Amino acid sequence: MKYLLHIDTSTNTGVVAIGRNGILLAYRITEEQRNHASTINIMINDLLSEVKISFEEIAAIVVCGGPGSYTGLRIGMATAKGLCYALDKPTILDNRLDLLAYQAYAQHGKTYSQYIVLLTAREKEYFISIYNNDFICTLPPQHIEQKNLSELAEQKENTYIITDGNEQTVSHLINNTMLDLNVRIDLPIWIFYSFEEYNCNKTVNSLTAEPFYLKQVYTHK
């Protein structure tokens, strides 16, 4: 039995979940974004108690590395790194854009010609990635300005867009689209996806791994 612990603090919602051999066993969710740092370890301990396993029985730690909230990303990554170091376990680092595209692809397959994930970074700025209907990434995750969106998104019929952006704005910029406004990660699909990664040894160096910031960090003096 391979147990994988999943951590996602990249958004307002903090999530921890346990999968066994690619099947979701249990999860915890909190909507208290400002308390991710104080609640994440409590949620993990509660989760392990529920499924009745120890930290040593975890085969790997899976973390959603963003893009998303800078503070949230650092909290999730630091938690994963600490556990991996203490337990000598491998780290799997997933990009949120990849996960959202994959769950759409898992549902619709070749029904659509391409899958675009478009998440709001700030006003008139987005995080974007594009995949064809073989789930091959044709545009790696990156940060763009709205004025460049039409150039990057090839105009194809039956384009499926996962977005938290304004419907009218997105539809105007990219034609022939099906919009999906659900940008929450589907836990059963993530558990399956990460278990496949684990079986293919798609791990990262936990000491040097960094979140997917994708854009410059702005600070105020």
User: Helix crossing, 96-108 with 187-199: angle to 10°?
Assistant: 100
In this structure, which amino acid lies at residue 182? N
Strands 159-163 and 114-122: parallel
Separation in Å, CA 179 to CA 117, 145, 171, 217 = 10, 20, 8, 29
Verdict on whether the full-model pTM lies above 0.85: yes
Q: How far apart are CA 108 and CA 77, in angstroms?
A: 31
How many Cα neighbours within 13 Å face the side chain of 75? 24
| Closest alpha carbon to 4 in 53, 49, 47, 62 | 62
Strands 159-163 and 137-145: unpaired
Question: pLDDT at position 203, please?
Answer: 96
Instruction: Dig out the tokens for 206 from the structure.
Output: 């936990």
148-179 pLDDT, tens digit per residue, is: 887 777 667 788 999 998 887 777 767 668 89
Q: How far apart are CA 207 and CA 146, in angstroms?
A: 35
24-46 pLDDT, tens digit per residue, is: 999 999 887 677 888 999 999 99
